[in-house]
Amino acid sequence: MARGTILVTGGAGYIGSHVVLALGERGERVVVLDDLSTGRADAVLHGELVVGDVGDGALVRRLLRTHGIDTVMHFAARTVVPESVADPLKYYRENTCATRSLLEACAAQGVRHFVFSSTAAVYGVPEGGIADEDTPTAPINPYGSSKLMSEWMLRDLAATGALRHVTLRYFNVAGCDPAGRIGQSTPEATLLIKVACEVALGRRPELAVFGTDYPTPDGTGVRDYIHVTDLADAHLRALDHLRAGGASLTLNCGYGRGYSVREVIAAVERAHGAPLPVREAPRRPGDPPMLIARAERIREVLDWRPRHDDLDTIVASALAWERRLAQGAR
């Protein structure tokens, strides 16, 4: 059977654009739907870009129908934890409600495959700070709750036989395309490695360390960082799994090791060759002390083999991208 076209929602954003690049490089037909509120049109290097809202049911149904789409990869979402705490209804509207609208359109148009961008935030504060796919979900912020509710809707729709899905729960995504073609360009980004690189290049005056009294080895939060290119490869493998008739799955995307905020800062300082100006600040609401993946399942089921599992490699690619941005490349 011929491969259908893939609709990538949020495909002009950080993670979505890297997946679009990987899809395009292997010859897939792609349509990107993005409202460009945080994404960039020039980050879409393959396929057709349609500027619009994923929650616009009429638009989505038209795209699904006219392009013969049989697979949706859904990235479009708000993702900033502190913002979700301050404005929870925005997250339920733009994440949960928009996903419901998208799923309704997919069911109506006979979409067969759905790959969902979820998050480790659904776990909340797991015992010992480590989560596998069977760890109870107990989000501690509206961002995580909005994504978990979307997972439930997708699970329940799949149970009717309408489609099959792979839900990927990301841990902390970082780094940029090693060839320097695209990267993390979100304005006012909050991701630690990007912010630290911006500070290193003088684009921000200092780096705030939110919380130095966590029950971790050095008192700062610990996270599992995964290179965005390895994450993009996981999406292609999820697509191949579904096309081969594989069952619906929920999988962690991480490396299975954690680094503290201070360790990340030290890695950026090594790459930059100079110390960063750092300010200690109180904990942020909604941040768990430690969150690390057990990620054996994705390696076993999808034969996923990460190629960039190294903090210094991740940081080097992120810093190289920030230097391109500082030179006006994008």
What span, in angstroms and rounded, lies between the C-alpha atoms of 12 and 19? 10
CA-nearest of 140, 144, 202, 196 to 170 is 144
Complete edge-to-edge strand list for the sheet that includes strand 222-223: 130-131, 290-293, 222-223, 259-260
State whether residue 5 is helix, strand or coil.
strand
- 255 a catalytic residue: no
The active-site residue, picked from 14, 143, 255, 259, is 143
Helices 57-66 and 98-109 pack at an angle, to 10 degrees, of 30
Residue labelled with tokens 């990107």? 32
In angstroms, what CA-CA distances link 160 with 56, 163, 302? Answer: 24, 8, 24
Q: C-alpha dihedral over 176, 178, 180, 185, to 10 degrees?
A: 0
Q: What is the DSSP string of 80-128?
A: -HHHHHH-HHHHIIIIIIHHHHHHHHHHHHT--EEEEEEEGGGG-S-GG
Q: Is 180 within 8 Å of 160 (Cβ atoms)?
A: no
CB atoms < 10 A from the CB of 273, how many? 7
- Give the residue from 299, 130, 304 showing the smallest Cα distance to 232: 304
Give me the torsion for CA of 201, 18, 31, 92, rounded to 10°: -80
Active site residues: 143
